[in-house]
A and B are shown apart, each in its own frame.
Chain A
Amino acid sequence: MSDENAATNREAVNPRNGDGGADAVVLTGAEIVCECLLHEGVDIVFGYPGGAILPTYDALTKYPQLHHVLTRHEQGASHMADGYARATGKVGVAMATSGPGATNLVTGIATAMMDSSPIVCITGQVPTGAIGSDAFQETDVTGITLPITKHNYLVTSIDELPEVMREAFHIARTGRPGPVLVDIPKDVQIQEAEFVYPTEPIQLAGYSPPKTARARQVAAALELIRDSKRPIILAGHGISMAGANRELAQLAEKAQIPIALTLLGKGAISEHHPLCLGMMGMHGGAEVNHAIQQADLLIALGMRFDDRVTGNLATYARDSRKIHVDIDPSEINKNVTVDVGIVGDLGEVLRQLLDRVERRPNEAWFDRIAEWRADSELREIVRPAEAPQHPAVPEGKLLGAQVIRDLFEFTAGGAITVTDVGQHQMWEAQYYQHERPHSLITSGGLGTMGFGLPAAIGAKMSRPDQEVWAIVGDGGFQMTMMELATAVQERVNVHIAIINNGFLGMVRQWQEFFYEERYNQTPMVNPDFCKLAEAYGIPTVRVTERGQIEEAVNASRAQTAGPTLIDFVVEKEEIVFPMVPAGADLDDMIRRPTPAEFEQQRRGRAVAAKAPEPQTPESTPPESKPSESEEPAAAAALGSRFGV
């Protein structure tokens, strides 16, 4: 990520020096924090006040250019900062007090760390003299966040404050972006010092993000590409973060290489592009996973071979050579050993490759992929309402997958969607096709339930010109639904779609497949979400049939101020297909049956029902004890019973 975002510097206004002269002026630490935020181009701070950060909150009153958003929980503040950052690439800022304020930020910080999102968290700390004494609301937040920040600081003197603030933003937004925390004791906020914003370039001896790749490695990569017959590009989050979207498309087009996307890679290239295959991995397209397993060359760009995209590493893309480009050297050879590892900025590296890559025919390869895709299309469940439906679709039931597909249609695929975590998130990934970078915001690495609503608020405040939908499950929504009040207070026009199945659906799906349908602690007794939202003054609609979706979505979109909420009451026991069980081979997927297979199974079940009493289930011991080392065969049989 470039430093360009910092170029949006506003003119810092000095409250004690109206003429804004360049001379040093005396400011408090709290005022210096505000000045530094302005210099970094910050316009919004998400936070929650408290004792140890009060001097900074007081200073904020002198800086009306810094709009403070009062969240209802500090976790909301860190997720909002994250959503803000992901929607634009600008650094998001969260602020909290010491102790519980700081610890409440932690989930949001870990979320940002896993997905390389640039945020800066500013926390108050007890006065320097009290540190280590277990003072009221003291916690070692730099210690707590050590493994979940890119870097963090405990500021022990006002003299280092301006430099620390500048470094924090620099580190957060450059290289592989990530969260940086600055912990500022209360006395440092109160102290006064001469303030001159440092202008010399930041030089950190131990920090210099790589740029261009070594020529020898580029040559080695080109050679592998030239020799390949079944190449595939794996595009991750790094593409959009590096702004290398055009280069990706050019490389794919020039060399005729199909592209598979990671979850966070969605938006790296338009999903309508003929070379884009769609999402890979646990709930990726079957044809995409087959293509990866059968490829003879993987070109991994800005992705990190997460276990959710590789499945069993021992059998992962066994016959392929591998090229891995990433800005973080520690990702190379971490999970998957590669033939050519290239460390550099993706834009630069792709340009280096583009110069010399050759056009090559891959027709036979595309034909194979097309065959796999044709099979997938047979099994597809979401079809236009007027088309003949897959026989597995239960009559008169609303499916979560249909809701997402219709939302895609009725928003013309143009919204920024922000999801929570679970089944709805995977349906979003499968059925909402994104064209533009930064248009899907989702917690991929950490899988943070409760992320959706606050991140959507942050995204909308970051991109007020864009239509923003928060697509959440009934479980995750209830983890952070107190932020409805924030959305109302700030009049944030975010459209909330609850995919409400009364279950922790994804966990239920695992219980169905791998724990013999023991639905322990997954059914939920929910409030009436419409009444709840109405208590906040939010307009709401409940949808229970597919035919109601269009009107509800249009009604939501017609509201241009403040939040809206749609409660989509969907089929309770729907399954996300395909599914690679955790630890299974990537092409060992649980599939939805084709219509023909489904009919055959239905006849088989009808015959079985008429047959004499079968032996009692108790008489046959279970073949394996339920565990995460799943039984794909048994699960496939289950999957055919629950045909949706």
Chain B
Amino acid sequence: MAKHILAALVENRPGVLARVANLFRRRSFNIDSLSVGRTQRDEMSRMTIVMESDSAEADRLVKNLYKLVDVVHVDHLHSQPSVVREMALVKVKASSENRREVIQLCDIFRARIIDVSAESLVVEITGEEEKLENFTELVRPFGIVEMVRTGMIALGRGGHTLKDEGFKPNRSRAAARSNVL
């Protein structure tokens, strides 16, 4: 069992997210996180899928993703040098007495405080998964009121990119295209 990070370029069409999500359910893939967003090209979105599995299972997911007509390219990002980031927004209880301590922790983790109220702070923290885990463990004693994480996103380092050549947007279809995932 290992963490597998897959990146998928998909056509930016209505229903694509449903197709991918349905695939996970239908073939019983267990997904840790899935994040979706726009890319440098309007016609395409990029999905980052993280799963804890053996490599045979990850291969099975790649093959099944390729069976979806809207999936253009899939890559195992863990098998090559890549940068991986995740963002979390953490609302931490912080009164005037212990606010300093929380701020100090934020400084150490290079996290930013983006909202302050009498009882709490909202902290924005970015990094690899482990860093986020460590930070949340350290602020937990103060009390985490609310937290949200984006799920991982990743890019190959240097010259490694996901192939999108051969992809030509379709003129009349582009009109119907939307960012409705």
- Give me the interface of A with B, judged by CB distance under 8 Å: 142-143, 146-147, 150-151, 154, 156-157, 159-160, 163, 171, 203-207, 328-330, 332-334
- Decide yes or no whether B59 CB sits under 8 A from chain A: yes
Tell me which of B31-39, B99-107, B169-177 binds A.
B169-177
> What is the CB-to-nearest-CB distance from A260 to chain B, in angstroms, rounded to a whole number?
26
Of the residues A143, A157, A163, A330, contact of B18 by C-beta under 8 Å: A143
- Decide yes or no whether B2 CB sits under 8 A from chain A: no
CA gap between A163 and B26 in the complex, in Å = 29
CA gap between A390 and B146 in the complex, in Å = 77
> What is the CB-to-nearest-CB distance from B19 to chain A, in angstroms, rounded to a whole number?
6
> What is the CB-to-nearest-CB distance from A484 to chain B, in angstroms, rounded to a whole number?
36
CA gap between A344 and B45 in the complex, in Å = 29
8 residue pairs A–B, Cβ–Cβ below 8 Å:
A171-B69, A205-B166, A205-B168, A206-B72, A206-B73, A330-B63, A333-B59, A334-B60
Q: In the bound complex, do residue A160 and residue B11 qualify as a contact, i.e. CB atoms below 8 Å apart?
A: no
Given contacts A205-B11, A207-B69, A330-B64, contact A160 B173 (CB under 8 A): yes
Q: In the bound complex, do residue A154 and residue B15 qualify as a contact, i.e. CB atoms below 8 Å apart?
A: yes
By a CB distance below 8 angstroms, the chain B residues around A157 are 175-176
Of the residues B14, B26, B56, B176, contact of A159 by C-beta under 8 Å: B176
Q: Which residues of chain B (62-88) have a CB below 8 Å from chain A?
A: 63-64, 66-73
> What is the CB-to-nearest-CB distance from A142 to chain B, in angstroms, rounded to a whole number?
7
> What is the CB-to-nearest-CB distance from B90 to chain A, in angstroms, rounded to a whole number?
36
By a CB distance below 8 angstroms, the chain B residues around A328 are 67
Q: In the bound complex, do residue A151 and residue B69 qualify as a contact, i.e. CB atoms below 8 Å apart?
A: yes
Q: Which residues of chain B (83-130) have a CB below 8 Å from chain A?
A: none
Is the interface on chain B under 10, 10 to 19, 20 to 34, or 35 or more residues?
Answer: 20 to 34
By a CB distance below 8 angstroms, the chain B residues around A332 are 63
CA gap between A333 and B14 in the complex, in Å = 32
- Decide yes or no whether B22 CB sits under 8 A from chain A: yes
Q: In the bound complex, do residue B56 and residue A333 qualify as a contact, i.e. CB atoms below 8 Å apart?
A: yes
Q: In the bound complex, do residue B18 and residue A205 qualify as a contact, i.e. CB atoms below 8 Å apart?
A: no
CA gap between A156 and B177 in the complex, in Å = 10
Q: In the bound complex, do residue B67 and residue A160 qualify as a contact, i.e. CB atoms below 8 Å apart?
A: no
Known: A159-B175, A205-B167, A207-B69. 20 other contacts (CB 8 A): A142-B15, A146-B18, A146-B19, A147-B22, A147-B26, A154-B14, A160-B172, A160-B175, A160-B176, A163-B173, A171-B69, A203-B166, A203-B168, A205-B72, A206-B10, A206-B11, A206-B66, A206-B71, A206-B72, A206-B73
> What is the CB-to-nearest-CB distance from B125 to chain A, in angstroms, rounded to a whole number?
35
Q: With a 10 A CB-CB cut-off, give which of A157, A203, A205 has the most chain B CB atoms.
A: A205
Q: In the bound complex, do residue B63 and residue A329 qualify as a contact, i.e. CB atoms below 8 Å apart?
A: yes
By a CB distance below 8 angstroms, the chain A residues around B175 are 157, 159-160
CA gap between A472 and B146 in the complex, in Å = 62
CA gap between A142 and B18 in the complex, in Å = 11
By a CB distance below 8 angstroms, the chain A residues around B14 are 154, 156
CA gap between A161 and B71 in the complex, in Å = 21
> What is the CB-to-nearest-CB distance from A436 to chain B, in angstroms, rounded to a whole number?
31
**What residue in chain A is nearest B66 (Cβ atoms)?**
A329
**What residue in chain B is nearest A151 (Cβ atoms)?**
B69
**What residue in chain B is nearest A204 (Cβ atoms)?**
B69
Q: In the bound complex, do residue B22 and residue A206 qualify as a contact, i.e. CB atoms below 8 Å apart?
A: no
Interface string of B151-173 (1 = CB under 8 A from A): 00000000000001011101011
**What residue in chain A is nearest B26 (Cβ atoms)?**
A147
> What is the CB-to-nearest-CB distance from A109 to chain B, in angstroms, rounded to a whole number?
15
> What is the CB-to-nearest-CB distance from B62 to chain A, in angstroms, rounded to a whole number?
9
Q: Which residues of chain B (12-32) have a CB below 8 Å from chain A?
A: 14-15, 18-19, 22, 26
By a CB distance below 8 angstroms, the chain B residues around A163 are 170, 172-173
By a CB distance below 8 angstroms, the chain A residues around B176 are 156-157, 159-160
Of the residues A143, A151, A206, A330, contact of B60 by C-beta under 8 Å: A330
> What is the CB-to-nearest-CB distance from B165 to chain A, in angstroms, rounded to a whole number?
9
CA gap between A542 and B166 in the complex, in Å = 62
Given contacts A207-B69, A330-B63, A330-B64, contact A159 B11 (CB under 8 A): no
By a CB distance below 8 angstroms, the chain A residues around B166 are 203, 205
**What residue in chain A is nearest B8 (Cβ atoms)?**
A206
CA gap between A150 and B70 in the complex, in Å = 11
By a CB distance below 8 angstroms, the chain A residues around B68 are 206
> What is the CB-to-nearest-CB distance from A574 to chain B, in angstroms, rounded to a whole number?
38
Q: In the bound complex, do residue B22 and residue A146 qualify as a contact, i.e. CB atoms below 8 Å apart?
A: yes
By a CB distance below 8 angstroms, the chain A residues around B72 are 205-206
By a CB distance below 8 angstroms, the chain A residues around B15 are 142, 154
CA gap between A333 and B73 in the complex, in Å = 21
**What residue in chain A is nearest B165 (Cβ atoms)?**
A205
**What residue in chain A is nearest B172 (Cβ atoms)?**
A159
**What residue in chain B is nearest A329 (Cβ atoms)?**
B63
CA gap between A329 and B64 in the complex, in Å = 8
By a CB distance below 8 angstroms, the chain B residues around A143 are 18
By a CB distance below 8 angstroms, the chain A residues around B66 are 206, 329-330
By a CB distance below 8 angstroms, the chain B residues around A171 are 69
